[in-house]
Amino acid sequence: MIETDKAKNVLVTGGTRGLGLATCEHLARAGYRVIASGRGITDSLQTLIDDPSLSGLVTFRSLDLAQTGEIRLFVRDVAKEYGPLYGLVNNAAIGHDGVLATMHDSQIEELIRVNVLASILMAKYASRSMLGRRAGRIVNVASIIASTGFSGLSVYAATKSSMIGMTKSLSRELGKAGITVNAVSPGYMATDMTSGIDAAKLETITRRSPLGRLANVDEVAAAIVYLMSESAASITGTNITIDAGSTA
């Protein structure tokens, strides 16, 4: 049994489903204490919280990232309750699709607020907690769409490109304090966000992959756990692609 009072604290945004949920499980099984955030808890996350083999290592705190004014106090309260943060996984994102010329301004603003502004503010306040200990890890979840493009996802692509740009610059700001900042860029995976993609398009994407399949959330979560580890102490400012080779 892992001693939870000695576990390093990692905050995972969007930790209630999909990649975020898988990341919470992989981190907890690696011995980290995980604070999952989301607008509301899911049955899947509750099952993980109740897992007796992970007792005390996974908790949930409610946060709507669209309410960016709440982020500072949220991070402060998490640090007060659990102690200083060691890691942050900026995973939460939304994915409105649509041709830019006809997309509602409100949808564009929501994408930028949740995917970009909230992630920047999360990194800002979480890094303050890490600076005091001169150690920490930040992992930003980007996407291969940032480099490949995809019709109907121009705004989403812009938000994910921002994750890579922030990663590179922030790694330089925080490196001397022993804090690494990296990104992971997943390819298409079977998640709620991709459930609306036409089956024929997914089949085409799968055929183009050298491995003949899509990546899965467990593979991406494993990469995130690696970047959190001491083994990755010399890796910073890097973007790791996990896409079954579809961008090769």
Q: Which residues have a catalytic role annotated?
A: 156
CA dihedral 77, 78, 81, 87 (to 10 degrees): -150
| Residues 138 and 91: beta-carbon distance below 8 Å | no
d(CA 221, CA 202): 21
CA distances (Å), origin 37, targets 12, 47, 74: 6, 15, 10
User: Which parts of the chain are beta strand (E)?
Assistant: 9-13, 33-38, 58-62, 85-90, 136-141, 179-186, 239-242
| Residues 216 and 190: beta-carbon distance below 8 Å | yes
Give pairs for 73-79: CB < 8 Å, separation 24+. 74/37, 75/11, 75/122, 75/125, 75/126, 75/129, 76/125, 78/9, 78/11, 78/35, 79/9, 79/129
- One DSSP character per residue, 168-179 reads HHHHHHHGGGTE
Q: What is the DSSP letter of 8?
A: P
| Residues 135 and 178: beta-carbon distance below 8 Å | yes
